[in-house]
Structure 1
Amino acid sequence: MEYRKLGKTGLEISLLGLGGFHLLEISFEKIRGLVKTYLDAGGNYFETAHAYGNGESERKLSKVLPSSGVVIATKTGKRTAEEAKRELLKSLKNLNRKHVDILFLHAVTDDKDWDRIISSGGAIEALEWAKVEGLVRFVGITSHGYGGTLLRVLKEYPFDLFMTQFNYYDRFNFPEIETKVLPFALSNNIGIIAMKPLADGFLFRSVERAFRYVKTLPVSCIVSGINSLDQLKRDIEVLDLPVYDELELAELQRLAPELGNYVCRLCLECLPCPEGINIPALFLAEGRFDRQMLNGEYEDVQDYALRDRLAHWFQSEKQARLEYQTLSPGVSECTECGVCSQRCPYNIDIPRKLKIVKSKFEKGYIW
């Protein structure tokens, strides 16, 4: 098992982290075997939350974790200091621990959410209280989808670490995570935990590609939701593969089946549009809206069901609409000249895709 340093915390953690949500789905005996195999392989990072089954994930882990030699993280989704304090104390009781290594503020996704947290009586006070009382060693924040608020948060408060999604699919729906948040974190020695390497399961057919991609990034740990020994062994095996070089990354971006000839890679080769349309910005807004998953063409019923379930997983529609509304000229100005499609190195039918984007944002439009 490879180990990487977790930013300013100084902790050395295993590249593969064991997520706690999916432990709700399996029996205690299976969890015992899963944890033993993970520990035997060198894994040392366990993550859970009180919100996972109202403490059930924490209680299950408490019965199988060793008393030392592991890093334990839990989360609170509460936004006031008093509620967050109470939830942390419940988590400690569930975990049968006097303290945890890491406490995350869970799922901080927009500016209003952050404003509540840092206001008088907000949850940030609970984190500071917990550190003073010795109940937590380090504090972090988790975020999903759009990274604008996450970047603001990291600039305004000295968190020790953060966790958000990293995968080669959402790289093109929320590019600011890799282009802005990641560099800021690295320059300020903030620990980086990656989650959703399989894009919530969307990349289940491409496990090797998915894990190699995230391993290539300068993250400290990749947390995976695992509910079987087969999944665990597979994840350990693929993480033993080498990182991608630049040519391999370009090849992945070009040929990944989940990206296909629909997902915009934001390469800008389609510009300039004769009508002045900012084509990549419109497709980026679509990425915020539904992760560019609903494309009107599906391989089979399973593919459709998965896309339909995951399209709005991050709930970034508000940000998507804000971005869409600021773009002028809009989709209606497209003359379908086809120049953009001829330039696109990924063979995207851009006029068709623009119609789909319009149908998503403007009720009643049929493409």
Structure 2
Amino acid sequence: MKKRKLGKTGLEISLLGFGGFHLIEIPADQAAGLLNTYLDRGGNYLETAASYGDGESEKKIGEIVKQRRDELILASKTGVRDAEGAMEEIDRSLKNLQTDQLDIIFMHGVGDEDDLKEILKPGGSLEAAKKAKEMGKVKHIGITGHGQPDVLIEALKTGEFEVMMTHFNYFDNFNFPRLEQELLPLVKEKNIGTLCMKPLADGFLWQNVEDAFRYVFSLPIDTVVTGMNNQEMLEMDLKLAAEFEPMTAVEKEELFKNAEELGDYVCRQCKECTVSRQDGENIKDVFRMEGYYDRQMYDGRPRNPADYALRDRLRFWFGDQKLAEKRYKQLEIKAADLLKKTAEFKACKYGLNIKDKLEIVDYKLGESEIMQ
């Protein structure tokens, strides 16, 4: 399997990484079979977290680690924010994984500025990670985040983290445009190892797996980490990694135009809005706040129960509603203001009904109490 350099860590990491969360869903012998197959086929990155099944994922991976430690890059995560608790969790992870050293320990799921401050302050979990590094228990320190990337951008400016992991996919690219517009250039500038998670947008892109993986493989990231809990899924992902060819700009635009998950509702955040030269930036601001709020998943359209349930489960997955509401209030021009101008707007090149969408945003984030 093709390998890429993991930032400035000196590690070479396989294009496809194995995420350990979904191992808690299957018996230990099946997990072992999948992990061994993955390593036999050239993969070398195994990642888990202390919180996955309260250590169950680590224990299943540990059975493989004790036999094949020299063949793999091993990472786990701690969600504890104080130094004492984080060190205890690191030690428990080492025991569960049957090793004396992690290649990477991640400060896991950093959600906002207050969360980051807890990690960075004296007595915070970063202090434990640094001590563990001095003691040889870990080699490198990383950070993970979900949803809006503002806090990750601030964290990486501190110079404390060698590796960063967050979600990249062709759907959330338009809900959180700073991921690719600002975060990726920053990690490349600082030569920080860059890991992609959620290439299928938490399963939302399940009908378009090949394009979804090809899209993220084509980004300037170092590996794509995904959970695999059956042989069919593993074989498909290994095949996609082995046969990967970078997506061209033309192919990417075709995907943005035709992907059914984007459809004629999700704003593509075009560099130049085709709807209005004067109000285009305001329109994009409003729709970006909708992306923060619920990933533009509620669109007022009837669906079958399975589709509705998936959207309803995932729309608030990252918990950025309050952030969206706060920033929406700070906008000088909101959906209600733009609705007064819709007669002046031109057709969106992606077919979005701007008037309907503005009414939905006003319902979600504005003053409207019912959807018009």
Q: TM-score of the superposition, structure 2-length normalised?
A: 0.95
Deviations 1:210-243 (A, max 9, x none): 0000000011110001100100111111222311
Q: Is the 8 A contact 1:117 1:123 kept in 2?
A: yes
* Separation (CA, whole Å) in 2 of partners of 1:277 and 1:92: 49
* Separation (CA, whole Å) in 1 of partners of 2:269 and 2:281: 14
Aligned to 2:316: 312
Q: Is the 8 A contact 1:185 1:192 kept in 2?
A: yes
Deviations 1:243-299 (A, max 9, x none): 10111111111111100000000112223357x981110000000000001111144
Q: Is the 8 A contact 1:19 1:224 kept in 2?
A: yes
Distance 1:260 1:53, change over 3 A: same
Select between 32-41 and 284-293 the one with higher mean Cα deviation. 32-41
Select between 185-194 and 318-327 the one with higher mean Cα deviation. 318-327
Deviations 1:65-118 (A, max 9, x none): 313110000000011111100110111111111111100000011111011111
Select between 31-40 and 132-141 the one with higher mean Cα deviation. 31-40
Aligned to 1:196: 198
Whether 2:297 is the aligned partner of 1:293: answer yes
Aligned to 1:161: 163
Q: State the 1:336 CA deviation.
A: 5.9
| Paired residues for 1:88-127 under 5 Å | 88-127=90-129
Deviations 1:20-50 (A, max 9, x none): 1000000111111101210121011000011
Structure 1 runs not aligned, ≥5 long: none
Q: State the 1:330 CA deviation.
A: 2.1
* Separation (CA, whole Å) in 2 of partners of 1:236 and 1:323: 41
Residue 139 of structure 1: SS of its match in structure 2? strand
* Separation (CA, whole Å) in 1 of partners of 2:247 and 2:371: 41
Q: State the 1:343 CA deviation.
A: 3.2
Q: Is the 8 A contact 1:277 1:328 kept in 2?
A: no
Distance 1:34 1:298, change over 3 A: farther
Residue 7 of structure 1: SS of its match in structure 2? coil
Out of 281, 288, 294, the position equivalent to 1:284 is 288
* Separation (CA, whole Å) in 2 of partners of 1:53 and 1:277: 44
Q: Is the 8 A contact 1:277 1:329 kept in 2?
A: no
Paired AA for residue 38 in structure 2: Y
Aligned to 1:17: 17
Residue 199 of structure 1: SS of its match in structure 2? coil
* Separation (CA, whole Å) in 2 of partners of 1:262 and 1:203: 16
Q: Is the 8 A contact 2:104 2:141 kept in 1?
A: yes
Residue 106 of structure 2: SS of its match in structure 1? strand
* Separation (CA, whole Å) in 2 of partners of 1:118 and 1:277: 35
Distance 1:325 1:29, change over 3 A: same
Paired AA for residue 32 in structure 1: A
- CA RMSD of superposed structures (Å): 1.4
Deviations 1:300-319 (A, max 9, x none): 22111100000000111122
Q: Is the 8 A contact 2:55 2:96 kept in 1?
A: yes
Q: Is the 8 A contact 2:164 2:195 kept in 1?
A: yes
Q: Is the 8 A contact 1:321 1:361 kept in 2?
A: yes
Distance 1:129 1:277, change over 3 A: closer
Deviations 1:173-216 (A, max 9, x none): 11111111110110111000000000000000000000000000
Residue 210 of structure 2: SS of its match in structure 1? helix
| Paired residues for 1:30-109 under 5 Å | 30-65=30-65, 66-109=68-111
Structure 2 runs not aligned, ≥5 long: none
Paired AA for residue 183 in structure 1: P
- Which 4+ runs in 1 deviate beyond 6 A? none
